[in-house]
Amino acid sequence: MVLNPKIPEPELSYLPQPALDRIANMGIFDTQCEGHQLLEKIANKWTILLIYALIQGKKRYSDIKQQVVGISPKMLVQNLRSLERLGLIRREVYPTVPPRVDYSLTQLGESLSEPLAVLGEWAYQHISDIDAATKKYDSKPDAEDFWQPK
Amino acid sequence: MVLNPKIPEPELSYLPQPALDRIANMGIFDTQCEGHQLLEKIANKWTILLIYALIQGKKRYSDIKQQVVGISPKMLVQNLRSLERLGLIRREVYPTVPPRVDYSLTQLGESLSEPLAVLGEWAYQHISDIDAATKKYDSKPDAEDFWQPK
DNA sequence: CTGAATCCAGGCGGATACTG
DNA sequence: CAGTATCCGCCTGGATTCAG
């Protein structure tokens, strides 16, 4: 969106001060910060979906694989291992034949499931908003710019 | 962790029922589901960091770039565009010379900042837990398995 | 100053086959 | 059943250069 050449008044929308207070100056923007690295590990699609799946309780490998549609065995194991290493999930092997492996959230993992559930809720509550915004953005002829594009 | 051959009692840890109720059966595991796709877009490192940065208020391109350490111009613009398309941030261009571009959260973006802030808080509150778990996992000789590895 | 464009390596991640 | 191993395409994302 292009505005008039003169700097407009900020039309300062209200700031979400609570969130600001909590996150600002925590070092999250620094790659070296542990919080940053931790966030990087949990903020990916498969990780979140696995947590979601295990919120429903202890599950076997094959059940998880069936529920999380389209995940390859490689990604499944890789992410499960990562979560286990972080202490978010528990892996229990029963040396029976055929073998059986159960995965479940640890207490730490359960504590993470709440924030992630909130995030998932947000997604579902705003699908239509996002849809509308995206359509509007895509239909914008990107003219309206008065500095003659091209 | 390997348990006794006989299937143990579940030691069923309490289920986080609230989260379960909210997320289960929402179709989140289906790639075709819009909620899934939306989650996929916002659940990545750069996106989250950009939202964090803009929680603090309207900022210029160069300020964001300076704050989000290590981001390349390519990733910065790419993610800013994505967020703008989703209607989460607002882009204001002042055709002055030198050019100036401000970015700020839209109302929709502000509504997302809360869940993301909660997630960031979680990360900082559990750094030591994760550290301990990771150390423990790495020091585990992966023996203790009684089926003689190798 | 704010990007756009290009190049390019690394690794993500899918597909497949195989094992205990 | 629950993975491991291997191959490999392709896309991500960094570095760099250039443009308006």
pLDDT tens figures, A32-50: 888 999 999 999 999 999 9
Residue A5 scores a pLDDT above 50: no
Within chain A, where are the H helices? 17-23, 34-42, 45-55, 61-67, 73-85, 107-125, 127-139
Residues of A in contact with B126 (CB under 8 A): 38, 108, 111-112
More confident residue, A71 or B148: A71
pLDDT digits (tens, 9 = 90+) for B51-97: 999 999 999 999 999 999 999 999 999 999 999 999 999 999 999 99
Query: Which chain B residues are within 8 Å of A85, Cβ to Cβ?
Result: 133-134, 137-138
> Tokens for A51?
């947590």
Cα atoms in the Cβ-side hemisphere of radius 13 Å centred on A58: 16
Looking at the DSSP bridge assignments, the partners of residue B100 are: B94
pLDDT-derived band at A140, boundaries 50, 70, 90: confident
**Contact (CB, 8 A) for B16 and A113:** yes
- Residue B140 confidence class, pLDDT cut points 50, 70, 90: confident
Query: Closest Cα of chain B to A47: distance in Å?
Result: 10
What pTM was estimated for this model as a whole?
Answer: 0.86
Contact B49 A28 (CB under 8 A): yes
Q: Is the CB of B62 under 7 A from strand C?
A: yes
Report the DSSP beta bridge partners of residue A44. Answer: none
A69 class by beta-carbon count within 10 Å (0-12 exposed, 13-18 middle, 19+ buried): middle
Taking CA–CA distances from B67, the nearest residue in chain A reads A29
Instruction: Mark the nucleotides of strand C covered by protein, meaning any atom under 7 Å from a CB.
Output: 1-6, 13-17, 20
DSSP state of A90: E
The mean predicted confidence, pLDDT, of chain B is 84
